[in-house]
Amino acid sequence: MRLVLVLLLALVAGAGTPAHASELTPLDAETLWQLKRLSSPAISPDGEHVVVAVTRYEMEDDKGITNLWLVATDGSGARQLTTHGGSDSSPAWSPDGRHIAFISKRGDDEQPQLYVIPTGGGEARAITSVPTGVSAPRWFPDSAGLAFVSQVYEDTADWAEMEQRLKAEKDSKVSAQAWDRAPIRWWDRWHGERKPHLYRIALDGGDPAPITPGSGVHLLITGAGTGTWDISPDGEQVAVVADSDLTGTASNPDVYVLPAAGGEAVNLTAYNPAPDFAPAYSPDGKWLAFSQRQIPGFYADRARLVLHNRRDDSQRVLTEDFDRTVSGVTWAPDSRKVYSAIDDAAHNRVYVIDVRSGEPTALTREHSFGSLELSDDGRTLVALRQSFVEPPTLVRIDPRRGTVTKLSDFNDEVLAGVDFGRYESVTYAGANGDPVQMWVVYPPGFDPEQKYPLYLLLHGGPHNGITDSFHFRWNAQIFSGWGYVTGWHNFHGSSGFGQDFTDSINPYQSELPYIDTIKAAEWFAEKPWIDSERMGAGGGSYGGYLASILLGREHPFQTLVAHAAVFNWLTQYAADYGASQRRHGEFWEKPGHYEKSSPHMGAANFDTPTLVIHGQLDYRVPLNHGIELFNILQNRGVRSRLVYYPDENHWILKPNNSLRWYQEKKDWLAEFLQPAD
């Protein structure tokens, strides 16, 4: 059994240290919400500055305030660029370096609009006044205008009619909506008549001109951010991701190209029945890179990087021999290589991929990175770095050597008072004797001579591997701060360990992860510092599903937590995302599959105290699952508690609701596991 010690960031580099160690306290939920949260950075063309959106939360108002900050890449400091009391987001630097565009809702704005602010100083000014609002801005290469996304009615003649229709819809006393085809909702929103389309506008303002309206396609209704479209380096063409067809609830995102002035869209990936996404033009204009999955209906299929030659329309898969997913790239200025943050063996590592050979080379090893941005000269690469003990932090990465320099200190003062527990990566023998990676987070001041209770976390997905990252919703440091050793295993099916490992749990997703979970508990039970009579487990989404599977089978846990649990496969079958996941057959075709894999079929064996948590607005795993699970537990006389959030979705996102979520778990686990003082 191999034990790999993870290098720790006990405090964010450069943070101040309290005068006395006794002043340090474990991370708690209240401190978690004092931390500022950084969004994707935008680097200046010359690489000297980065603009980043920073969000702070006001607990009394239960809301976040987001402002833009300008950070020097030489490490000399940062200054606040906007001081608006609402939300300034999605910054984008003009190619000539003279302006920063962003999205905001100010003054009389009823919807978010596109603003620009001079980098040399001055006030921000709105350049749109669109009744349907704007999002995801991107500059044209000449810096004379921008493109943006707006959710519009496709059958309206102009913006005035659009505004009238919005008002009529708002004032109507009829609440009914109707659909003739799926999909009808996604995560926590119902799909209406409006569709996401691309428009362009001059820097001086004026009427936005359509790009995709009339092209035959619209952007994805499930998310139309900047990663779903790009502008060619000559400004003459745009590439967009759009659904080619909808059969029932299934979709097939393809990459289309069309003139930037508007016109007919041409499908570049009609041959592929699985998703194609994340288009990115090379700086020399020769290539259009995009990511491609090849198995329809399987979101965790390995995404290959594909290069489309714009000169002869030929395509080649660049990373066929690289057993990792490449989901979006940043081009080097010479168009000879690309950079990508890749889910790799429980880390998000920065890789550089040679365009000629397809050879990937890891630039980083420890911790996790994302949101890459590269300067025009290719010398300055910035990213957000994070780990179990570091929230997303702006850093500079040497594009050749991979050395990392910390640039931002937004959370240093708060983190300086936190006593983080030591954590490490271990490997144990799981199902079929296969190696399974697991994170172990120890309580602050861990003493191996004592015995501690265990809280084993069950991650969601099931194909979303747990990386060395800072988790705001399920923070293992908080749980360990309560006195638990906290484990988080990347069971069979987890991403980042190769496609065979990811796909190994299909079609019976209940089997190998269950065995891996039991084996993880056995690994802990053998440790002299674990009290095997005080072990609990819990998770959300698929993690809640796995907790429900444990409920109906033999397991060593004294209590379980099931958040947003997929409890009944028959009712999940046609709900939101589940409705499109029919890769392994319909329930009337393979009833045995559903009977074996659905947690509700094990209800006769339920006897473990269980905390059930669910949100009303969860359309990914609808509320009925939590209610069914709780009522069955109640009918069987099993100690159980249902925590219901009428204003939350699949996740608990509001600050004060989150505090209650952590407190409910703390009280519940203490009742059954009695953590050490």
> In 3-state terms, what secondary structure has residue 641?
strand
For residues 309 and 327, is the Cβ–Cβ distance under 8 A? Answer: no
> 551 pLDDT band (50/70/90 cuts)?
very high
Q: Which amino acid is at 566?
A: V
Element at 668 (helix H, strand E): helix 655-673
Specify the pLDDT at position 580.
55
> In 3-state terms, what secondary structure has residue 595?
helix
> 283 pLDDT band (50/70/90 cuts)?
very high
For the ranges 226-235, 528-537, 568-577, the lowest mean pLDDT is seen at: 568-577
Task: Report d(CA 646, CA 19) in Å as an integer.
Answer: 44
Instruction: Give every strand in the sheet of 337-344, ordered side by side.
Output: 330-331, 337-344, 347-354, 360-362
Specify the pLDDT at position 8.
35
For residues 346 and 490, is the Cβ–Cβ distance under 8 A? Answer: yes
Task: Convert the pLDDT of each residue in 300-319 to its tens digit.
Answer: 999 999 999 999 999 999 99
468 compared with 109, residue with greater pLDDT = 468
Mean pLDDT of 577-583: 60
Main-chain phi, psi angles of 383, to 5 degrees: -160, 170
> In 3-state terms, what secondary structure has residue 412?
helix
Class of domain 415-581+588-673: alpha beta
Q: Which amino acid is at 488?
A: W
Burial profile 115-129: b = 16 or more Cβ within 10 angstroms, e = fewer:
bbbebeeeebebbbb
Specify the pLDDT at position 15.
40
Specify the pLDDT at position 208.
97
Specify the pLDDT at position 475.
98
Mean pLDDT of 190-217: 95
Mean pLDDT of 50-60: 97
Q: Where are the domains of the chain?
A: 415-581+588-673
Specify the pLDDT at position 582.
62
The sign of the torsion formed by the CA atoms of 483, 485, 491, 496 equals: positive
Those residues with Cβ within 8 angstroms of residue 434's Cβ, 6 or more apart along the chain or in another chain = 492, 501
- Before 183, cis peptide (omega within 30)? yes
Mean pLDDT of 638-647: 98
| Res 177 pLDDT > 60 | yes
Task: Report d(CA 456, CA 444) in Å as an integer.
Answer: 17
Task: Convert the pLDDT of each residue in 99-148 to its tens digit.
Answer: 999 999 998 889 999 999 999 888 999 999 999 999 999 999 999 999 99
Please state, rounded to an integer, the average pLDDT across all residues of the chain: 93
- Long-range Cβ pairs for the range 349-352 (8 Å, 24+): 350/381, 350/383, 350/397, 350/402, 352/399
Task: Convert the pLDDT of each residue in 373-432 to its tens digit.
Answer: 999 999 999 999 999 999 999 999 999 999 999 999 999 999 999 999 999 999 999 999
Task: Report d(CA 421, CA 632) in Å as an integer.
Answer: 38
Task: Report d(CA 256, CA 252) in Å as an integer.
Answer: 12
Specify the pLDDT at position 674.
86
Specify the pLDDT at position 573.
83
Across 10-144, where does the E strand assignment appear? 37-38, 42-43, 49-58, 63-72, 78-80, 88-93, 99-104, 113-118, 125-126, 135-139
17 compared with 513, residue with greater pLDDT = 513
Give the rounded percent of residues in the chain with a pLDDT score beyond 70.
Answer: 94
| Res 11 pLDDT > 50 | no
The DSSP 8-state label assigned to residue 343 in this structure reads E
> 251 pLDDT band (50/70/90 cuts)?
confident
